[in-house]
Amino acid sequence: MIRLLKTWPTRFIILLLALGLQQAAAQDHARSTKQCYDDWVQATQIVEKQSLVTVELLNAQFRRQKVGVIVKTQLCRNSGKYEYRLVIRSPKGRFQAKTYDAHLGIEIGVAGAR
């Protein structure tokens, strides 16, 4: 067994396996972390490419439902899914931070939402 580990093909295979495991762990970590986009040129391209709900559509929906007006928006990718982090000013002038699913246009963490 020890003699087998000393041959170069075996070392090469072990190295490839180790690199593969390291890459898989890095990809899993990347999927589980949140990445937010500050550059709206880049974010707009993502919205178009991924066919996400637009902020304009959400804002129009909020106005119709008299929820309020979006005053700050950030597109983020969290565990592989896109979401909007919003600050909304209610009709009474109060500010609320909410997170919306960018594919479905529904609030995350609310009963009845996925």
Give per-residue pLDDT as tens, 31-74.
557 899 988 899 999 999 999 999 999 999 988 999 899 999 99
| pLDDT over 80 at 80, yes or no | yes
pLDDT value for 24: 57
* Helical segments of 1-114, H only: 2-5, 8-32, 40-50, 55-64
Q: 106 to each of 19, 50, 90, 96, how far by Cα in Å?
A: 40, 16, 17, 15
Only one residue has tokens 């304009």, namely 56
The whole-model pTM stands at: 0.66
CB 86 within 8 A of CB 72: yes
